[in-house]
Amino acid sequence: MRRSTKIVNTGLAAGIILLSPALALFYLLCGAYDIYRNTVLDRDMLKKYFAGSGISSFLLSPVNLFMDLLSLPFENKKVYQFEDLPKLHQQELNELLSACDGKVFYQEMEQQMGGVNRGMVFYQWYGEPVRDTESSLAAFTKQYKTIKTIGVSVFNKKVSTNRHFGPLRATLRVLYNVNDMQGEDAYIDVGDTRNYWSKNKLFIFDDTLLHQSVNNSDAIRYCLFIDIVRPGALDSITSAIVRAIGFACHRVNFKFYKNWVALNR
């Protein structure tokens, strides 16, 4: 599935270049802007973006540029502190995080992991509830104004992702490491920023930047996986776009996370 999707996306990119030089130039300019936003530039990054796992980001670069304009005058900080978010975003995140009790799902998910490298449970996806997923935590299924995706990702011991790009900039990614990690063997890299989960359990960033999650520890890592609406002067329009994405992609979320195994609650 992953290879066929890559072939389709590569074919679309090639078609744009061959059929419309003007459109190809527009895409290349949008792609160049996307690349410029990254603080670590190397040959591997360029290859991933234009001909690898990041080609979906390249194809969606005009949409992401539009989202950047729609979010003005709020600056895209790339990596955010909690205090950078508007008050409503902070309030809703505080409500969700304060209700998160790892004991509710540790045992069940650990039993399902087995030889699985990475597992994921979604409770909400771009504002759409995942109806075949239940939770004893009401905060996971509550409808929020700014929180649109809620899931739990589980990294097995000694497991990492490859460096990759997220596809859309309609939201910001919020990660909260639920269990306590020790040392510096578990972290996330976003450009030249490295966050160790043992030091900071909460990390907020623009996931269309090249990033990588690493768990070189001997412990399973449980992480709350959240998408929030990007702050902007036209929040209602951004929220409507996110809702439309959720409706269009309802029940196909794991096509976006092909290297993850869906865990049941």
pLDDT tens digits, residue range 12-32?
A: 555 555 667 788 889 889 999
Q: Which two tokens stand for residue 96?
A: 């969700």
Rounded to an integer, what distance in angstroms lies between the CA atom of residue 157 and that of residue 219?
Answer: 5
Rounded to an integer, what distance in angstroms lies between the CA atom of residue 249 and that of residue 265?
Answer: 22
pLDDT at 7: 45
pLDDT in tens, 123-180: 888 888 886 666 667 888 899 999 999 988 888 899 999 899 998 899 999 999 998 9
Give the Å distances, CA to CA, from 191 to 2, 112, 231, 238.
Answer: 25, 33, 22, 26
Mention the CATH class of domain 79-262. Answer: mainly beta
Residue listed under structure tokens 């004893």 = 136
Q: Has residue 1 got a pLDDT over 50?
A: no
Is 256 within 8 Å of 53 (Cβ atoms)? no
Is 9 within 8 Å of 181 (Cβ atoms)? no
Query: Is residue 8 very low, low, confident or very high in pLDDT (cuts 50, 70, 90)?
Result: very low
In the chain, CATH 2.60.120.330 sits at 79-262
Rounded to an integer, what distance in angstroms lies between the CA atom of residue 219 and that of residue 217?
Answer: 5
Is 221 within 8 Å of 69 (Cβ atoms)? no
Look up the pTM and report it.
0.86
Query: Is residue 236 very low, low, confident or very high in pLDDT (cuts 50, 70, 90)?
Result: confident
Query: Is residue 2 very low, low, confident or very high in pLDDT (cuts 50, 70, 90)?
Result: very low
Residue listed under structure tokens 């603080």 = 39
Rounded to an integer, what distance in angstroms lies between the CA atom of residue 166 and that of residue 122?
Answer: 17
- Read off the DSSP letter of residue 83: G
Burial of 82 (0-12, 13-18, 19+ CB in 10 A): middle
Count of all residues that appear for the chain in the document: 265
Among the listed residues 185, 153, 160, 158, the one whose alpha carbon sits nearest the alpha carbon of residue 262: 153
pLDDT in tens, 96-106: 998 876 666 66
